[in-house]
Structure 1
Amino acid sequence: MSHHLLPEVDRTWLRAVTNCFLIRDPQDVLASYTRKNHEPAAEDLGFIQQADIFDAVHSITGTIPPVIDAADVLRDARRTLHLLCKAVGVEFTDAMLSWPPGRRSTDGVWAKHWYAEVERSTGFRPFQQRNRQVPAKLRDVYDCCQSIYERLRAKRLQ
């Protein structure tokens, strides 16, 4: 959750950890977020912060950190997770493709607000292409987030 890493926090510690980035189409993010907050600012959605953190990691480490797109995970979870595991030096296992339903203690305080669908699931749902309309009042927010999404998407593992 990119917006939790505040700009004033020193980021040199990012060199000591393995960083990877999950991105999601801003239309899907807006559709989800506006169910709880009807008029979000671009900063509320985390794209700006995610790009800043991505750039910081790239600058600090000298390498492009792995990026995966949520749509790629839904289209082919096995392949996408294999690519991610290889990139971060973790062995892929089939256990990554399914899980028991219910809340987990590691979900954090926001789980009850955002994770109802995940808690009901036992695996990745199939990808569904959605052609969502962005309300006019959110067009500037969407445009800002979309340009960042496209920039990071160009770096995604394929």
Structure 2
Amino acid sequence: MFTIYHDFIINTSKEKVFEAVSTPEGLNNWWTLNSKGNPALGETFNLYFGEEYDWYTEITKFSKDKEIEFKTTIAMQEWLPTSFGFKLTEVKPSETYVRFYHKDWTEISQEYRQASFCWADLLRQMKQYLEKGIITPFEQRS
């Protein structure tokens, strides 16, 4: 199995970062078109990117303001059965170290490579959203 990793610092509190990666409103501001779900262990999240990409995940790890992991349950074939998550560590009161991963890829395929690139760009957009309040319109996101 293969894993995508991205580690970076966001200049805001871990509580704000956790909200951005665990709530529908937070996810909609940098990734999804419209997501729905309750941020809690075992809950189902709908990650909606349009009719063709109406995906579902289950929260398999959850520690408020510290860690969240989503296991993909309905998505394009290559994303099954991958999981992605965020581990947060407070460096300073307004500085958070983010360790992102997307694991359990069966091969280093074209989709894996594209996902790695897209995650890097989307995580950069999340950083801009949290640090500067910039929300990239959904149609312009990778």
TM-score (norm 2): 0.27
**Greater percentage in strand:** 2
Scaled by the length of structure 1, the TM-score of the pair is 0.25
Greater RCO, CA 8 A, separation 6+: 1
Larger Rg: 1
Which structure's residues are more often helix, by fraction? 1
